[in-house]
Structure 1
Amino acid sequence: QLLRAGKDRLGYTVLNPSSFNLKRPGSNQHPVIPTRIYLSLINVTGDLLGQLYQGIGTYESFIAAFADEHYALNLHTQKCLGLGGKRNYRPDMPQALMEHGLSEVFTNEFACPFKRDLQTVLLKMQYLAKTIIHLYTGMRDQEVMRMTYNCLSQETVRPTVKDEHGVVRDQPQSVSVLTVYVFSTTTKFTGYKKEAAWLAPGEVVQAIEICQAICRGLAKLYKVELDDECPLFLNPSILGYYRKNTEVIVTGFRSKRLQLNALQALTIQSEDLVELAQSDPCRDFYSDHKFVIGNPWTLNSHQFRRALAFYGSSSGFLSLPTVRAQFKQMTIQMARYYSNGFDSLRTIFGYFDNEKGQFVLPKDHFAFDFQMAMPMSVANQLIAELLFSEEPLFGGTGSFMQKQAQRVEAGEIHIEEVRADTERRVKSGAISYRPTLLGGCTKVGRCDSFMLGDYTECLSCEGAIIKPEKVNVAIEDASEELSCYAVDSGEYQIVKGDIDRLSAFKARLIDIVESEE
């Protein structure tokens, strides 16, 4: 139709799209960060965050002192400048750090022996804060860089609950959120700016507070107001040699000088490659030059988003015993706010759309990634733990998975088919997964026996996955517990019944299979 209208009427020439190669080049999805490296990232960044948080009260005054262009210069340079005698000498950098109580903060990774190093060190501090925000929120790079100084706030998600007599039964519950500008358009293609928010765990709050303290000091040098237009990651380039011509801009983090040595020390090991191969069987990680054993794990902001969605959603079903306590708490918060009550979540973490007349979430909000990652994480866990399990599996689902593993090994079906079918069943709500004392459970919904601690009911449940090793451990533990009770006590009879049921199951099924092998 445009060609018929002609160039004279349109004012431009219409080109034939068939003349161009519009196909996107092939690319791989960002890999999930292996568990060992991911947990190390949490630990390392947590330790560095604790180091920087010690100076939260003095960053502002320390940075503001550099309004004096001679401040923190070494004494030799000050003598050469002729500042008018010793009484006019300013403290050098080690003395300046000591006077502000920052000597223990600006050490090791953030060592700053000379004034010329301060700009780079502050950039590293901002880079660490940015990494922590990505690690714990799943925000995209441009979303983090759009944050302003006043981005942190408290939102009430549950008001005070009182009974009919006015007595407070439940205290109000609030969460810390990060406010970020999102850009949208109306049907008239006029752009407008709205705000959206992300859940901010304790580590993110501390990282934001460090950035705010640095920003306050830099704002005094730039002589700008700390309003909603002031960027949180204010560029410390004003501390450089060409400070008079410096513009108020947002920090850029592309320089390799900002890479933290502690993160570069996280190298790839053989078990990481095994885990990567299980997470994506269609991809050859062993031949990829980016994943060579002994090389540092290459980080980018989007990896954190996918890893957080994967591990965060998994935390609702599985336990990661070596995860820091703070991370466990954070994933519980995520499961609560990103998985359940999605309608109420929109009013807290979304923005009001004038066109629709309601609260909506931005299409790229992390909550959607988290929700989508839940069936994928469950499917991956089922496949990794069960199809690749070296020990035989029993129980309703366990026997089925054992047969599937045998079919995969025999070449009757492909692992991709099993993965797709498992993801589909999890997404439709047909199966779930959680660890149990005897193995695992794929039953969907409430389980009264699980809640009451009657774990032997798993032996006859269709959704159970029974592992021989765990049955043996359960028998040993129960036998040890039995010796603590009197023979005629009720506790003795209950534990004795559990041992009998476990032993009967073991003799009837497990021992027979093991003897055949």
Structure 2
Amino acid sequence: MDFDFRCIDEKLDYSPDSTGEIKSTGIDPEFVIARNTERKVISRFKDDSWDYTPYGALSKIWFDSWWSSEKGPMDGLARTLTDEIKTLHWLSGFETTSNAGRSRGLAYLAGIIQPLRAIAKMCHLLGISLAEAEHSPHFQVGLRTSIANAREGFKDSIRLDGLLKDLNYWQGVEKITCNVPRIVPEADLSDVLALCKKSHNRKLERRDPTPLVPTRLFGKLIGGALAQMEAAQPYLPRLEALIQAVYADPLLWVCDSHSYMVGLKRVKRVYPDKVFPAWSKRANEPTSPEGVLARFGLTDYAEQHMQFEDFRDIEEHISHLQGLCVLLIHAFTGMRTSEVRVMPHEPVVHGFAKGFGDLPVVVSHLKKFTDKGNYSKPLVWATAEQGLYAVKIAQQIARLNWFRNRPADAPLPSNLPLFIAPRINRIDNRGHYPIPIATRISETSNWRSLAASLELVIEDEDMEELAVFDAFRGWDEKPEFAVGKLWPLASHQLRRSVAVYASRSGMVSLPTLKTHFKHLSEVMTAVYAEGCSFAENFLMDGEGKPIDDGSVLFNFRESVAFNVSVRFHEQVIESQTPLYGPRGAEFQRAKESGALPKMFESREETQKAVKQGKLAYKETPVGGCALKGSCPHFAVDVVLPCTSDCKDAILMPEKLKTYVDSLQYEMEAHSPNSRPYKLIAAEIDHVTKTYLEPEEMDA
């Protein structure tokens, strides 16, 4: 077998070089890649651009284009990655036996550079070479997530499919003695290829998955929305009293005859039968906006959060606060826009799940499963403390809009939507509620305004993160995602982001997300698990049909299963140090005897086991835990319950050492005679003698 250029139909007198084998040192840097029609060499392997135009290509191929010139010269890792993708590209053009019926012409060589560039960028951000990618759990998560997230049908899916198959094949070619990166472990190859196929099918269906909101921006969104709502909460009763007064007296918020007429029109809408004197008879009685704000104790709030110069500014601010509530409900439920819009005024219910206790959930309806404009029977969504808080604030804001349309003594009806429209003096034609639902909360302009108020400005680190976990979207080619611009926030982005980040709550590095989504993850697990009283209610629509695969439940399960399988294999199955604890020792014995069950043989099998409920795994400060459900013993104590023969504990030496170090540091804050000091000392002694000293002796 010769390595010969196979992208031209016949041997030309100006063809590239050929060779009989690839030595362990790699491809000769002086190897001729291309000659022009005068037989002059125009490209060699060592070059960072190859010119195949004499053979029919439309343009040159640039291998260093993945590296931004703004970063300056390539560092050592960038140089290694560029040489690695050149090697893979060369093999795609010159290795003559791996075609297996797949087209490998010049169009393929031009197209394959795109996924190779994306993969190189992912690796550099993770600090690894292509050769190391196979063994990096973070790269494997990023690769799969990127394939799953790729929009516009991911036109590179077939090229990536072929490349991964070729990489696997080249491992067994005897005449290739240099290191050829696998990129994907052999055991996981079929799973990733299936994901590529699914992405290709999505192209045929013209379904474009939405991008994930970067973790920094998602954390900023959550933190900023909560901060604004917490700042407003103490003033909402005062704002309600102001609105009741201004909508009853046209002399409030008045400076001249024109503003009096505006106020009169506003009041007559709520009190149509009430008679008010003309401006000429009351010109000395009005109260200015400043006076009204002072009267109701809102001056400081107005100065800090908005200059309420016109009464329409107050109305705009109410809509803004309503939008913040919508944001947080999306972020802590994963509900669709249509589902958030039709939430009832009292949406919070509680249920009990074994192993989890009392669970807060919110109720709404699925508009998509109706054909007459009404809504399905009530369904539930898991939420967390922040979601409940957003509902509480939304209920107060609903009162503000109610009293903008009804007298101050008008009671709120029982059948009321959570998000009331600013104008409700008409019947809701959709029939579900007797008054209209706010529609502005779902408008694009409102989402842009919210993004601006939360300062969701794209930074380099956001795009670097997306280059790892959503690599094949071509971010550099999309001006709306340029650094320095506002993130183009949309409600449907939050749906997938919630499922992904809740499932990764133990993996994300941003404290805001890890803290907020850890609890949400447990509630989702309980509410959406088979056997929970809410499960059937959530899994079926109003007609008893299964909910489609686009549900937050489906995304959450898929993400949980994949992330659990990655962490479990990395930390337990592939651990190079002995495992302790009841479950840890059990896994250790099975590994040493070669008796691991089938579901632990590969990440794919483990992922299936997680989906089927046969396995659960989560990290702990001392190792891992295989408990299915929420731990009833784990609290905020310094001394953990995991080390005292917990039957589900998987204890790891390195984490145990860190745990002991933290305990020793904690001891310094207590008196030697105190009970906490003695408990900590006893725990240090127990862990050291039971686990660490035997491990040192074995070493």
TM-score normalised to the size of structure 2?
Answer: 0.49
Q: 2:484 aligns with which of 294, 302, 308?
A: 294
Residue from 203, 210, 213 that aligns with 2:399: 213
Q: Distance in 1 between matches of 2:511 and 2:300?
A: 32
Instruction: After TM superposition, list the pairs within 5 Å mapping 1:261-276 onto structure 2.
Output: 263-276=453-466
CA contact (8 A) 2:447 2:489 kept: no
The 3 A distance-change label for structure 1 pair 152 and 465 is: same
| Offset at residue 48 of structure 1 (A) | 0.9
**Which stretch shifts more, 113-122 or 228-237?**
228-237
Mapped contact 1:285–1:291 kept (Cα < 8 A)? yes
Q: Which amino acid aligns with 1:435?
A: E
From 51, 63, 86, the counterpart of 2:243: 63
Out of 342, 357, 362, the residue aligned to residue 177 of structure 1 is: 362
- Which of 499, 504, 516 matches 2:692? 499
Superposed counterparts of 1:74-85, under 5 Å: 74-75=255-256, 77-78=258-259, 83-84=279-280
Which letter does structure 1 place at the counterpart of 2:365? V
* SS of residue matched to 2:365: strand
Q: Which of these residues, 531, 534, 551, is aligned with residue 345 of structure 1?
A: 534
CA distance in 2, matches of 1:25, 1:40: 34
Correspondences of 1:454-465 after superposition (within 5 Å) = 454=643
Deviation for aligned residue 1:46? 0.7
1:385-436 Cα offsets, whole Å, 9 max, x none, are 88xx9xx965689xxxxxxxxxxxxxxxxxxxx9867744643557654224
2:611 is aligned to 427
Match of 2:502 among 304, 308, 312: 312
Displacement, 1:45? 0.8
Q: 2:227 aligns with which of 47, 60, 67?
A: 47
2:216 is matched with which residue?
Answer: 36
Residue 100 (structure 1) aligned with residue 296 (structure 2): yes
Q: Which residue does 2:438 correspond to in 1?
A: 250
The question of whether the paired residues in 2 share the 8 Å contact of 1:395 and 1:466 is answered with yes
Instruction: Give runs of aligned pairs for residues 395-414 of structure 1, distance below 5 A.
Output: none
- Whether contact under 8 Å (1:338, 1:367) holds in the other structure is yes
Q: Which has the larger radius of gyration?
A: 2
User: Aligned partners of 1:85 and 1:223: how far apart in 2?
Assistant: 28
**Is the CA contact 2:257–2:279 (under 8 Å) kept in the aligned structure 1?**
no
Tell me what 1:194 maps to.
376
What SS does the aligned partner of 2:376 have?
strand
Once the two structures are superposed, what CA deviation does each residue of 1:96-143 show, in whole Å capped at 9, x if it has no partner?
Answer: 233233334444444422224233222212211211221122111111
Residue in 2 that maps onto 1:112: 308
What is the letter of the counterpart of residue 89 of structure 1? E
Whether 1:142 and 2:342 are equivalent positions in the alignment is no
- Provide the C-alpha distance between the structure 2 equivalents of 1:178 and 1:28, rounded to a whole number of angstroms: 28
User: Aligned in 2, Cα 1:345/1:431: closer, same or farther, shift over 3 Å?
Assistant: closer
AA at the equivalent of 1:251:
T
Amino acid at match of 1:47: A
Code of the residue aligned with 1:250 in structure 2: it is A
Aligned to 1:73: 254
- Whether the aligned pair in 2 keeps the contact of 1:156 and 1:174 (CA below 8 Å) is yes
- Is the contact made by 1:196 and 1:351 (CA closer than 8 Å) also made in structure 2? no
Q: Shift of residue 227 of structure 1?
A: 4.2
Structure 2 residue identity aligned to 1:333: V
Equivalent residue runs for 1:207-246 within 5 Å: 207-220=393-406, 226-227=412-413, 231-236=417-422
Using the TM superposition, give the Cα deviation of residue 496 of structure 1 relative to its aligned residue in structure 2, in angstroms: 4.2
Partner residue in 2 for 1:335: 525
What amino acid is the match of 2:526? R
Aligned length: 425
Equivalent residue letter for 1:292: A
Contact 1:157–1:173 under 8 Å retained in 2: yes
Report the 3-state secondary structure (helix = DSSP H, G, I; strand = E; otherwise coil) of the residue aligned with 2:404: helix
Shift of 1:47: 0.7
2:503 and 2:563 in contact (8 A); partners too? yes
In structure 2, give the amino acid aligned to 1:122.
I
Aligned partner letter, 2:222: I
Post-superposition Cα deviations, 1:494-516, rounded to whole Å, max 9, x if no partner, equal: 354233234356xx4xxxxxxxx
In 1, distance between residues paired with 2:539 and 2:565?
29
For residue 484 of structure 2, what is the amino acid of its counterpart?
G
Match of 1:152?
346
Q: 1:56 to 1:278 in 2, by over 3 A?
A: same
Seen in structure 2, the aligned counterparts of structure 1 residues 174 and 180 have a Cα distance that, compared at 3 Å, is same
Aligned 8 A contact 2:616 2:627 in 1: yes
User: Does residue 567 of structure 2 align to residue 373 of structure 1?
Assistant: no
The answer to whether the 8 Å contact 2:643/2:687 transfers is no
CA RMSD in angstroms, aligned pairs only = 5.2
Q: Structure 2 vs 1, CA of residues 266 and 379 (structure 1 numbering), >3 Å: closer, same or farther?
A: farther
Q: Distance in 2 between matches of 1:319 and 1:481?
A: 24
Distance verdict in 2 for CA 1:80–1:464, change over 3 Å: closer
- 3-state secondary structure, aligned to 2:351: strand
- Where relative contact order (Cα < 8 A, 6+ residues apart) is larger, the structure is 1
2:320 partner amino acid = K
SS at match of 1:117: helix
Structure 2 residue aligned with 1:4: none
- Aligned partner of 2:378: which letter? A
Gaps of 5+ in 1: 1-21, 162-171, 240-246, 398-417, 509-517
Tell me how far apart the structure 1 counterparts of residues 241 and 229 of structure 2 sit (CA, whole Å).
20
| 1:504–1:306 distance in 2 versus 1, CA, 3 Å | farther
Amino acid at match of 1:195: K
Q: CA 1:229–1:223 in structure 2 vs 1: closer, same or farther (change >3 Å)?
A: farther
Report Cα offsets for 1:470-513 as digits up to 9, x if no partner: 57645755887999899xx98786354233234356xx4xxxxx
Q: Is the 8 A contact 2:210 2:492 kept in 1?
A: yes
Give the direction of change, closer, same or farther, for the CA distance of 1:491–1:33 in structure 2 (3 Å limit).
closer
Go from structure 1 to structure 2 and tell me whether the alpha carbon gap of 1:452 and 1:95 turns closer, same or farther (over 3 Å shift): closer
The runs of 5 or more residues in structure 2 that have no matched partner are 1-201, 263-277, 426-434, 585-601, 635-639
Cα distance between partner residues in 2 of 1:320 and 1:293: 20
Q: Is the 8 A contact 1:61 1:217 kept in 2?
A: no
| Corresponding residue number in structure 1 for 2:173 | none
> What's the TM-score, normalizing by structure 1?
0.63
Check the 8 A contact 2:541/2:547 in 1, yes or no. Answer: no
Aligned-partner Cα distance in 1 for 2:665–2:414: 64
CA distance 1:158–1:379, change in 2 (3 Å): closer
- 1:223–1:140: structure 2 CA closer, same or farther, 3 Å change rule? farther
Q: What is the distance in 2 between the residues matched to 1:436 and 1:337?
A: 23
